[in-house]
Structure 1
Amino acid sequence: MRVLVAEDETVNRMAALALLRRAGHSVVAVEDGPSAVAAATDPNGDGFDLLLMDLGLPGFDGDEAVRRIRSHPTTTNAAPRILMLTATATPDGLERCRACGADGLLTKPLRLDALETALSNNVSNNATSGAPSEDSAAFAPNAIAQMRDLLPADRANALIAKTADTLRQYRTILADAWTNGDPRAAGAMAHKIAGVSGQYGCIALRRAAQGLETALERGGIVDGARTALALLDDAYGPALSYLDRQTQG
């Protein structure tokens, strides 16, 4: 298949490219909503069989990109399958997926088996999870093992190290948003942390980040969110240590 991946998070985009290309697909990647629309509707392009669209993109969100793609003259007669990607399958995200005209929703991390399950359904707006089923586990070693199967050792190590650096940066940005009393910015950063950590097998951190995002959406910076932030902090150190160890293996 020809696949368009719209994902603004560098480490997740690189992982998706490696995964899909190893599976034999031809892949084009973009980083924002306007670029996704331009690539999908290019009258001189070869078109795409599948679009994997992050729900939250710079420029404009993925669901707005889908609306523009679906209504464009170049895609109305040869409509590609479109699956949304999100770190957290909230009721709001599911509704946005239904409303924009996407064919389904995948929760990160992207996994080939979850993608195949979603594509085997004719039309489905329910979430298909790429996360491991062992919800109580702190780590999912198969996530990085799969990456090592797809990439040379030096590239895999560089990507894992970049992921750890990215998570450290995001924790600093989240702390600044919290100090400034900005629950929207803090929630957006928690969403990013969930997406990155899940892609690289840090399940406890992913779960804690999802909990913080939900708490901030429900009540802002109040006691419930403070408890969720403490859980996030508890998960952060072990996750970073885990990633650092992987680069030494």
Structure 2
Amino acid sequence: MKKVIIAEDSSVIQNLTKKILQVQSFNISSVKNGEDVLKLLNGDHFDLILMDINMPKMDGMECAKQIRALADPIKSSIPILAITGNAKNYSIEDFKEVGINEYIPKPLNFDLLVEKVKKYTESE
């Protein structure tokens, strides 16, 4: 079973996303900020990170940067999908610069979300 981290400070979005992905047979861990993402990664292996850009303590951009800087080559290359309601503030180049693979705009289109999650977690 593929393991996905959902980093999202909105409980509503977090719970909806979690339910939808669990139906698709993903194992979900959810956290509310970037610091907790790094803690989870420290202790376990994951296949994908869904990351809200605007979170307390550490935002998605900074968290992505820190993940890409990890010493473990497997952990530092985990696909990261940004979820954001204000992509206007960032360009796709900004996301790529910090190591985010793709972004999904809010309000979330869950069909698109599932499609992207599957794309990045299907075995090569």
Q: Report the TM-score range of the alignment, normalised by the length of the smaller protein.
A: 0.7 to 0.9
1:50-61 matches, within 5 Å, as 50-61=48-59
CA distance, structure 2, for counterparts of residue 51 and residue 25 of structure 1: 12
Distance in 2 (alpha carbons) for counterparts of 1:64 and 1:101: 10
Cα drift, residue 98 of structure 1? 1.7
Q: Which amino acid aligns with 2:27?
A: S
Residue of 79, 83, 86 corresponding to 1:85 = 83
Distance in structure 2 (CA, Å) of the matches to 1:77 and 1:113: 26
Matched with 1:2 is: 3
Pick closer, same or farther for the CA change 1:77–1:23 going to 2, 3 Å.
closer
Contact in 1 for aligned 2:48/2:117 (Cα 8 Å):
no
The aligned residue for residue 99 of structure 2 is 101
Matched residues in 1 for 2:50 and 2:71: separation? 20
**Which of the pair has more CA radius of gyration?**
1
Structure possessing the higher relative contact order (Cα contacts under 8 Å, 6 or more residues apart): 2
* Alpha carbons 1:104, 1:118 under 8 Å: kept: no
The correspondence for 2:61, drawn from 57, 60, 63, is 63
Q: Distance in 1 between matches of 2:116 and 2:8?
A: 21
Deviations 1:161-220 (A, max 9, x none): xxxxxxxxxxxxxxxxxxxxxxxxxxxxxxxxxxxxxxxxxxxxxxxxxxxxxxxxxxxx
Alignment of 1:166-185 (within 5 A): none
For 2:101, give the aligned amino acid: D
CA-CA distance at 1:93 after TM superposition: 4.6
CA RMSD of aligned residues (A): 2.0
Identity of aligned residues (%): 24
Gaps of 5+ in 1: 122-249
Which digits, 9 at most, give the CA deviation of each residue in 1:112-163, with x for residues without a partner?
3344147538xxxxxxxxxxxxxxxxxxxxxxxxxxxxxxxxxxxxxxxxxx
Change (3 A) 1:119 1:101: farther
1:15 partner letter: L
Counterpart position of 2:20: 19
Cα 1:83–1:68, aligned 2, differ >3 Å: closer, same or farther?
same
Query: TM-score with structure 1 length normalisation?
Result: 0.43
Q: CA deviation at 1:39?
A: 1.1
Runs of 4+ residues over 3 Å off in structure 1: 112-115, 117-121
